[in-house]
Amino acid sequence: MQFRSLCNIPVGHSAYVKKLHTAGTMHRRLLDMGLTQNARVTCLYQSPAGDPRAYMIRHTVIALRTEDAQTVEIL
């Protein structure tokens, strides 16, 4: 995909959500987790295999797989 996504931020860095490029239930799930527009997300650490990674979203740590993180466009 052409846009910069959550996958592109290195561990320890933060970004703001611009748009979700998902559909269906995952879309709403990500929204309900708090990934709405302009929400601040920090990548905290990664699992031994490097995927999934853990993100801080609205004071909670949420693990996302690369495939899902790729759908979150950031500013």
Question: Considering the rule CB under 8 A, would residue 32 count as an interface residue with other proteins?
Answer: yes
Shortest spacing between CB 32 and other proteins, in angstroms = 4
Q: Give SS3 for 29.
A: helix
Within positions 6 to 25, which residues make up the interface with other proteins, using CB under 8 A? 20, 22-23, 25
**Residue 24 CB partners (closer than 8 Å, separation 6+):** none
Shortest spacing between CB 2 and other proteins, in angstroms = 20
- Strands (DSSP E) contained in 3-52 are 14-20, 40-46
**15 alpha-carbon distance from chain centroid:** 9
Residues engaged in binding other proteins (CB under 8 A): 20, 22-23, 25-34, 36-37, 39, 44-52, 54, 56-65, 67-68
